[in-house]
Amino acid sequence: MDYRKTGLEVLEAVGGKDNVAMLTHCATRLRFGFRDKGKVDRERVEAIPGVISVVDKGGQFQVVIGNEVQTAYRAIKEITGEGQGGGSQPDGSHAGGSAEKEKWLTRIISIISTTFTPVIPALVGGGMIKAVLAVLTLMNLVNTDGSTYQMLNMISDGAFYFMPVLLAYGAAIKFECSPILAMTLACTLLHPTWSGMLSAGAPITFFGIPVILSDYSYSVLPIIFTVWIMSHVERFAEKVSPSMIKFFTKPLITLFVTAPIAFLLVGPIGVFLNDVIAAGAEFINGKASWLIPALMGALQPVLVVSGTAWAMTPIATMQLTKTGSEMINGPGMLASNVAQGGATLAVALKTKNQELKQLATSTGITAVLGITEPSLYGVTLKLKRPLIASMIGGGIAGIYAGLSGLVRYAFVSPGLAALPAFIGENPMNIVHAVITCVIAFAAAFAAAWVMGFEEPEGNGKEGKGGTEESPSVKAAAGQKAFSIQSPVSGRAVPLSEVRDAVFSSGVLGKGMAVIPTGDTIVSPVKGRITAFFETKHAIGITCENGVEVLIHIGIDTVNLQGKHFTALASVDDLVEPGTPLVKIERQAILDLGYDLVTPVLVVNNGSLSEVLTTQPRDVEAGMELMKLC
């Protein structure tokens, strides 16, 4: 495969050098920003040999190339030059109404995504406990008047009641200000003294200015607005504080200025918007109860691919915390997720391609359980018609969910594994949830089976950039197993748990991932370093038997531009298992909101044919992570 030619063809398909306003790359993909996105021919890019997939999210157009991305990048840079295509801002931030709207929409979605991402584990954990509690109550295993019920309810409700504190952290990461000060402001909004004032209901003032009494527990928007203002106040305090006393004056100014603004202005406005949005959702639901679930059921895959799936999360969360149930996200997502699984499993049963059959089977089951990205990126999006089938099934099931009044009582990723989250006050709600799943699966499966799809070429690797197994590979089955060690101490997990669909779908190669607890990344194999990115977040090693291994430290850590990473080796170095490669400032990177999960991928099997991974477990650097045979 000529990846230089791939890069040049990509450049032509995105509108040529004059349309490229920004170009960077990470270990696997090219990242573009454009002057005029309308000139980009996405379908043409996806059809170019060597292009694995295209991801358009977070304000960046990402072209996934794989291990040879640097070759394609260098070819493009020879044409565009080192100026990254010119001086104007990407995506039409010069004059132009539609482009300006797109920029602001992208920024809003980016704020929502960054703010909510760190909070999701807490919400999911609390939501699942709510679901378990619903099952225990239904089976009369706990008494709703007893202390056990109250304790479990308290545990499940903690993340939601203190939502402002959790969101303050994510918002501080997004707005680049102190997370601790942001969380302190959130704590003031929930302080027992303020709660007492709310209960008393008597008028209060602050330096003679009337203060509107508002309940900030469970709220979403007030703290996000407050932290945004705090970020500007903190920068001002940084600028005006003398160096000798900045340690005292910076937090003093930040809290003393921002907290009154929060209570007097931002908080009440945020609560008002919370109520308006919730009322709007209820109004739509009252007039056309089928509409929102149908749209979510049909369009959820498009929202995921476009990076806008997070847009509805604040509304759903506000509705859930305010009323105890929600119909914005849950019912439609349940229909969509199960439909995605149905369409993917139809592919698994119908295809004659053994590798596609294996991929579709595993990802289809995962999708039915509630996690759709692997099946979406690995199967249906590539084959196109099964994606349409999943949207048809999701839309049909969504209509039923809406007409039946289906609601979700807990924040979980909807699927068969999370059906207890639909057990609540209405005993028929779980029945409607099950019927929704049956309709979604059956409709999507039938549509995918009837519509069919184009079989990928070959019997193993699909099309663009892939190669069929050579006789030498097939004959290597009897060779001695080749061990790949863990590059860092931590928790070994399957690729399917990596929150980046390009890795989790396996399109770049098979392997495992490690959630690091150590700070030194070491070589997992014996070989030569053939790629060491300037940002130090990714290293490629080629072994003597031709096996190529990629170590990718974290998700989107390319954006750090090497900050908090120290290289301990370089390109062309010969390494042994355990040779130090990179030193990371792990806690500093985590504090910035980055996910440090580290995929270890076999991007080229060399003379071996099968990658054998192990079960999730705790590992030390140097322990066997997987092997090839």
Residues annotated as part of the active site: 26, 552
296 burial via Cβ count (<10 Å: 0-12, 13-18, 19+): buried
195: amino acid identity, one letter = S
Q: Name the 3-class secondary structure at 482.
A: strand
Q: How far lies 288's CA from each of 74, 397, 440, in Å?
A: 53, 15, 20
Length of the chain: 629
Does the CA dihedral 557-562-568-572 come out positive or negative?
Answer: positive
Q: Name the 3-class secondary structure at 567.
A: strand
Cα 138 versus chain centre, distance = 34
CA proximity to 223, closest of 264, 163, 180: 163
Q: What is the spatial distance between Cα 319 and Cα 307, in angstroms, rounded to a whole number?
A: 22
Q: Which helix (H) or strand (E) holds 188?
A: helix 179-189
Which tokens in the block code for residue 512? 């495992």
Q: How far lies 498's CA from each of 151, 297, 473, 624, in Å?
A: 33, 24, 29, 20
Which tokens in the block code for residue 410? 């807990």
574 burial via Cβ count (<10 Å: 0-12, 13-18, 19+): exposed
Other Cβ atoms less than 10 A from the Cβ of 465: the count is 20
Q: Name the 3-class secondary structure at 512.
A: strand
